[in-house]
Every structure is written in structure tokens, then in C-alpha cells.
């Protein structure tokens, strides 16, 4: 593979700390292959093209599942060793389902190549990814919220010191599906004190926290005396963000408390409350007025409070013992002035922000396309980044776009690089939501096109999104569903909801275990052991 880097772009890569020091050459393909199914020792002409996929979420895992292993060598690079079936994450956080029933280990894909780690840098010209490895058993499976950078450039010029080993993975085709991060709007204390609900470790931490709070409030008064007011604070569960994730978590939490915890801690029930906060005038904006009202009526009957047009300004640990020993939080809300609201748990679910890797990649200077890269040396070319969301802009075929900074700001295609899922912004449809549905449709489309005829087949047919509608669980066996074709509510929606989830994207193992757990939890109660 000849080095395509021009002198100036090499220099700029080094300036950004992306010059891949330490390894003089990217590892040859044969030295990177831990798996028998890799085609070792053959010449380039006969071996299968290597498709490297960054990410193992709805986009990355869905793509890898669909891509034909007979035609391509598939390699996933992801900090997580599994795919999470996110629609059921809230169910695992309250013990209705066991955590592992919604996970699909990447290595269960037959013949897959897998490197657990973060893509730290990509050399598009030499078609090599530098990966920071991450296989220590302490790995937390926890949502990472990047520390706020004082400016975008700082994040690029001063990357954090790598903790893992660094390895280089070459590719023939690259699929960027590294998703997005949780959006905190830089609000003080959210990164440190809020719980997120995007990964399995988050769900585990939330389950432990909820159960622990009840246990902590159940002791008689000891040397450290919890007053009734203290218990009221600790057993206040605050959810910030009134989208489907926040609403479903509130509903599932309420089910857990009513069905399982109330019989065990009857004396604590008067102190329990659940509140959903949102800045918008109404929650569940994707549902029409009637369904949203039905949701609010259902919540009101279950005594879940919904506070719209509330702006959270700060989250901090409560003073004294209540904060230090019990982890109580204080929420400052603009509409309530100086009076803070106490809570034992704050679940944060307000949307997504771009993965910091994207800014890093967009800052790279790319070699010019075509047979003579030196020719256009004077006109720098970059990956095109969406100014509003920070994602990578793609064409209608999910190919990464570039911009050459000449007078016309010419757009082009970055050969062999595709972007799908939450980190992609489609040029022709920039308003596509960042949902599992979009990501999995993009993944399936791209993989099928590549299966049917490689890059030419991708170019032959654009991606088109089909809206299957939105479903939200409301607790007490009720849900609402809305699509262009129909509207459903009540237990009918619940049956549709559960049925639809079962048949989508799950392995047979989990297709079997999820209904088993539904029955077991219904018969014997949810999983409440704490460890």
C-alpha cells in the first residue's frame, strides 16, 4: 500500500499528534489477524476486502450482522464487547429483565474479527486506524461524557494521554458507526452526579442505586439520624428529559416500586416520589396531542409528576452526611429560584452530542483524490462536518463527504469511507432523528448494497428511511404507538410493543430468555438482589 500522504499533510498530521509515533509502520494485515477466518498469507488480489466497522451499536453491529462474511472480512473496533438492545434497557434497570438478556456479544458473530478499544485516530490516506485498546476487566460499560473543552481546538491539539496499548488496524473499506455521546449542555454537576441510561453498566448502576436508597432509608435511627424530610429527599427520583427514554424509565421505575418494593418497605411508601422534568412545554413531542394527553393522564393516575418548562441549572451533592454518606443530590431549577430540589437519583436523558472523534477526524488534512495527489496540494481537503450537530455529512448513499477549501468549497466523496447511525448527517435529509430505527435501516441498506456488488452497488441506489412509528411504554402494562398508518394505546399497544421487540435484532438465545424473564418477573417479582 503506497503512502499517499503529501508532505504538507504528513506534517499537519504530526502537528495534531496523529502521526502514529511508536509504530514505524502500520501492522501488516497478516500480523493483525487473531482469527482463523481471516485470509492470511494470500496476495491482495485473491484475499477478501477487509471492512473495518467502528462501533457495535445499532449501526455497527447491525451492519456487521448483515454483511456477507463470504464476500468480506469483517472487523469490528468498539470499546464495548457487545451490542445492547437499547429499547429494553429501562426494563433491565428495574430488574424486569436480566442484564445479559439484552446483550449480544460481538464475538458470537461467527468469523468476526474484533478489537476492543477506542478509535483514537484514522489515517485515511494510508487506510489505517490507530486503536487504543480497552480489555481490562475494570471496564465499566458506562456512558462516557467527555469533559467540556474550553474550545474545539483544545480537544484536538491536546488529546488525553492514552491509558491502553496502541495498535494499528488497516482497512480496505471503513464504516464509521461510533455513535454519539450524551448531551449535558455543559450544565454544572451533570457529568459527575447524574446517571445516564445508554449502556448496560448505566442500567446496572441505576438498579443498584434505587435498591440501595430503599435499604438506606429502612434502618431505624442510629448515630446518624435520617429524618422523614431526609427520606423524602433520598426517595425522590428525578428524570430530566421527557422523551421516550425518560418517560419509559419513569414508568418502569414506578412499576418496580409499586409491585415489588411497596410490599417490602411499606413504611417508606409515603416518602417516595417520581418527577420528570423537561424544558419544553410538552413531553413526548413525537406523539400527537391525543396520545401525549393519554400518556400524561396515565402518569397522573400513577402519581408520576411531570414538570414541563423547567430548566435545570446545576446539580450538586447535598451538604453534610446526607450528601457524603447517602449521596443525596440538590437540583437547582431556574423556575424555582434559589430553592433547590432534593433527590436520591437523577437520571439524565436529554439528547445527544457529537462524538469527539468526529472533530478530530474533521481537522485532518486529507490527500487530494485522483491519481496525482500532489497536484492539488495547495487546496486543503477535509472531512465535511455538520455545523449544527457535529456529525459527519454523507451523501444519499451514506458515503462520507469531503470539502475542498477552494473558492467554490467543492464537495467530494471520501472513497471507501461510509458513515451510518448517530454520527452521520445525511446531506439530503439532515433532520433524520438519531434513533435505533434510522441506524438499523442505514446499516441494513449499506450492508445489502455492499453484498450485492460493492461500491458500485452502493452508488446505484440511495438510502431511503421508512418510518415504522414510535412506541413508548407508560407503565402498568400500557403503551402508546404512533405511525403514519395507525395509532394504538392501552394494552393493545403493549402487546404490539413487546411482540415487535422480540422479533427484531435478537439472537435466539435472547428471543427465548426475554419472554422467560417476562413470565418469571410477572409470577415471582423482579430481580431485586443487590451485588
Return the residues of window 61-100 that contact a copy of itself according to CB under 8 A: 80-82, 98-100
In order of 10, 246, 363, 387, 423, the CA distances from 402 in angstroms are 18, 36, 12, 14, 15
Residue position matching grid coordinates 446518624: 224
In the list 6, 216, 394, 437, the residue contacting a copy of itself (rule: CB under 8 A) is 216
- 133-152 residues near a copy of itself, rule: CB under 8 A: 133, 135-137, 139, 141
CA–CA gap between residue 285 and residue 342 (Å, rounded): 27
In the complex with a copy of itself, the residue whose CB is nearer, 186 or 220, is 220
In the list 11, 208, 396, 495, the residue contacting a copy of itself (rule: CB under 8 A) is 208
Mind giving me the DSSP string for 143-207?
---PPPPSSHHHHHHSPPPP-S-EEEEE-SEEEE---EEE--TT-BTHHHH-B--SSHHHHHHHH
> 146: which strand partners?
none
How many CB atoms sit inside 10 A of residue 389's CB?
19
* CB 119, min distance to a copy of itself, A: 14
In the complex with a copy of itself, the residue whose CB is nearer, 21 or 371, is 21
Buried b / exposed e over 486-517, threshold 16 CB at 10 Å, is eebbeeebbebbbeebbeebbbeebeebbeeb
Mind giving me the DSSP string for 383-419?
E-B-TTT-PEEE-TTSEEEEEE-STT-EEEEEEEEEE
In the list 55, 243, 246, 527, the residue contacting a copy of itself (rule: CB under 8 A) is 527
* CB 295, min distance to a copy of itself, A: 30
Q: Regarding beta strands 128-133 and 113-123, do their DSSP bridges make them parallel or antiparallel, or are they unpaired? A: antiparallel
Sequence-distant (≥ 6) Cβ neighbours of residue 284 within 8 angstroms: 242, 243, 244, 247, 291, 292, 295, 472
Pick from 99, 105, 62: which is nearest to 81 by CA? 105
* CB 526, min distance to a copy of itself, A: 10
* CB 101, min distance to a copy of itself, A: 9
In the list 42, 325, 334, 405, the residue contacting a copy of itself (rule: CB under 8 A) is 325
* CB 22, min distance to a copy of itself, A: 4
The answer to whether residue 222 forms part of the interface with a copy of itself (CB under 8 A) is yes
What does the block give as the cell for 299?
Answer: 402518569
* CB 228, min distance to a copy of itself, A: 13
* CB 105, min distance to a copy of itself, A: 5
Pick from 371, 336, 329: which is nearest to 237 by CA? 329
- 150-169 residues near a copy of itself, rule: CB under 8 A: 165-169
CA–CA gap between residue 208 and residue 214 (Å, rounded): 10
In the complex with a copy of itself, the residue whose CB is nearer, 209 or 314, is 209
Angle between helix 490-503 and helix 508-524 axes, rounded to 10 deg: 140
- Give the interface segment with a copy of itself, choosing from 9-17, 101-109, 448-456, 482-490 (CB under 8 A): 101-109
In the complex with a copy of itself, the residue whose CB is nearer, 82 or 473, is 82
- 177-206 residues near a copy of itself, rule: CB under 8 A: 199-201, 204-205
* CB 88, min distance to a copy of itself, A: 14
- Give the interface segment with a copy of itself, choosing from 109-117, 307-315, 423-431, 440-448 (CB under 8 A): 109-117
| Contact code string over 236-265 relative to a copy of itself, x by CB under 8 A | ----------------------------xx
CB of 73 within 8 A of CB of 51? yes
In the list 7, 44, 221, 466, the residue contacting a copy of itself (rule: CB under 8 A) is 221
In the complex with a copy of itself, the residue whose CB is nearer, 110 or 289, is 110
The answer to whether residue 212 forms part of the interface with a copy of itself (CB under 8 A) is yes
* CB 197, min distance to a copy of itself, A: 14
> 299: which strand partners?
none
Q: How many helical (H) and strand (E) elements, i.e. helices and strands, does the chain have?
A: 15, 25
The answer to whether residue 513 forms part of the interface with a copy of itself (CB under 8 A) is yes
- 371-430 residues near a copy of itself, rule: CB under 8 A: none
- 13-72 residues near a copy of itself, rule: CB under 8 A: 22-23, 27, 31-36
Q: Regarding beta strands 236-240 and 345-348, do their DSSP bridges make them parallel or antiparallel, or are they unpaired? A: parallel
The answer to whether residue 286 forms part of the interface with a copy of itself (CB under 8 A) is no
The answer to whether residue 233 forms part of the interface with a copy of itself (CB under 8 A) is no
The answer to whether residue 129 forms part of the interface with a copy of itself (CB under 8 A) is no
In the complex with a copy of itself, the residue whose CB is nearer, 205 or 330, is 205
In the complex with a copy of itself, the residue whose CB is nearer, 22 or 186, is 22
In the complex with a copy of itself, the residue whose CB is nearer, 202 or 255, is 202
> 104: which strand partners?
83
How many CB atoms sit inside 10 A of residue 45's CB?
5
Amino acid at each position: 500500500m503506497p503512502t499517499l500522504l503529501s508532505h504538507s499533510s504528513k506534517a499537519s498530521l504530526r502537528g495534531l499528534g496523529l502521526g502514529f509515533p511508536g509504530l514505524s509502520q502500520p501492522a501488516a494485515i497478516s500480523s493483525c489477524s487473531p482469527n482463523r477466518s481471516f485470509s492470511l498469507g494470500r496476495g491482495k488480489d485473491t484475499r477478501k476486502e477487509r471492512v473495518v466497522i467502528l462501533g457495535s451499536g445499532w449501526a455497527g453491529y447491525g451492519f456487521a450482522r448483515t454483511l456477507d462474511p463470504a464476500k468480506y472480512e469483517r472487523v469490528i473496533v468498539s470499546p464495548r464487547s457487545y451490542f445492547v438492545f437499547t429499547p429494553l434497557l429501562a426494563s433491565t434497570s428495574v430488574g424486569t429483565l436480566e442484564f445479559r438478556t439484552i446483550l449480544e456479544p460481538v464475538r458470537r458473530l461467527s468469523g468476526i474479527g474484533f478489537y476492543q478499544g477506542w478509535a483514537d485516530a484514522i489515517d485515511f490516506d494510508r487506510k489505517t486506524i490507530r486503536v487504543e485498546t480497552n480489555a481490562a476487566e475494570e471496564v465499566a460499560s458506562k456512558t462516557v461524557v467527555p469533559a467540556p473543552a474550553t474550545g474545539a481546538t483544545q480537544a484536538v491539539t491536546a488529546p488525553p494521554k492514552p491509558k491502553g496499548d496502541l495498535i494499528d488496524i488497516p482497512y480496505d473499506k471503513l464504516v464509521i458507526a461510533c455513535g454519539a455521546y450524551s448531551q449535558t449542555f455543559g450544565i454544572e454537576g451533570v457529568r459527575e452526579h447524574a446517571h445516564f441510561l445508554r449502556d448496560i453498566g448505566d442500567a446496572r448502576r441505576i438498579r443498584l442505586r434505587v435498591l440501595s436508597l430503599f435499604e438506606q432509608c429502612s434502618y431505624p435511627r442510629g448515630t446518624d439520624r435520617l429524618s422523614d424530610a431526609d427520606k423524602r429527599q433520598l426517595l425522590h427520583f428525578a428524570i430530566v428529559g421527557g422523551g421516550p427514554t425518560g418517560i419509559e424509565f419513569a414508568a418502569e421505575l414506578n412499576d418496580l416500586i409499586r409491585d415489588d418494593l411497596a410490599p417490602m418497605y411499606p413504611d417508606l411508601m409515603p416518602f417516595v416520589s417520581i418527577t420528570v422534568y423537561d424544558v419544553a412545554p410538552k413531553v413526548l413531542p413525537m406523539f400527537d396531542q391525543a396520545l401525549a394527553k393519554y400518556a400524561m393522564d396515565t402518569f397522573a393516575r400513577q402519581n408520576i409528576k411531570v414538570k414541563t418548562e423547567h430548566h435545570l441549572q446545576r446539580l450538586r451533592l447535598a451538604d453534610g452526611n446526607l450528601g457524603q454518606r447517602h449521596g443525596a443530590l440538590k437540583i437547582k431549577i431556574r423556575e424555582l429560584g434559589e430553592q433547590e430540589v432534593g433527590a436520591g437519583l437523577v437520571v439524565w436523558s436529554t439528547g445527544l452530542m457529537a462524538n469527539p472523534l468526529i472533530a478530530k477526524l474533521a481537522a485532518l488534512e486529507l490527500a487530494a483524490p485522483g491519481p496525482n495527489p500532489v497536484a492539488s496540494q495547495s487546496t486543503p481537503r477535509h472531512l465535511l462536518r455538520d455545523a449544527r450537530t457535529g456529525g459527519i455529512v454523507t451523501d444519499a448513499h451514506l458515503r462520507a463527504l469531503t470539502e475542498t477549501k477552494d473558492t467554490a468549497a467543492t464537495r467530494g466523496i471520501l472513497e471507501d469511507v461510509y458513515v451510518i447511525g448517530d454520527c452521520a448527517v445525511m446531506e439530503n435529509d439532515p433532520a433524520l432523528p438519531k434513533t435505533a430505527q434510522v441506524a438499523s435501516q442505514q446499516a441494513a441498506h449499506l450492508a445489502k448494497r455492499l453484498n450485492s456488488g460493492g461500491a458500485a452497488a452502493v452508488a446505484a441506489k440511495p438510502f431511503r428511511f421508512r418510518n415504522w412509528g414510535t412506541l413508548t411504554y407508560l407503565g402498568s402494562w400500557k403503551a402508546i404507538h404512533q405511525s403514519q398508518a395507525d395509532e394504538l394505546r392501552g394494552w393493545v399497544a403493549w402487546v404490539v410493543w413487546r411482540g415487535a421487540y422480540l422479533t427484531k435484532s435478537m439472537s435466539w438465545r435472547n428471543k427465548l430468555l426475554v419472554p422467560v424473564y417476562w413470565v418469571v418477573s410477572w409470577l415471582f417479582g423482579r430481580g431485586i438482589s443487590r451485588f
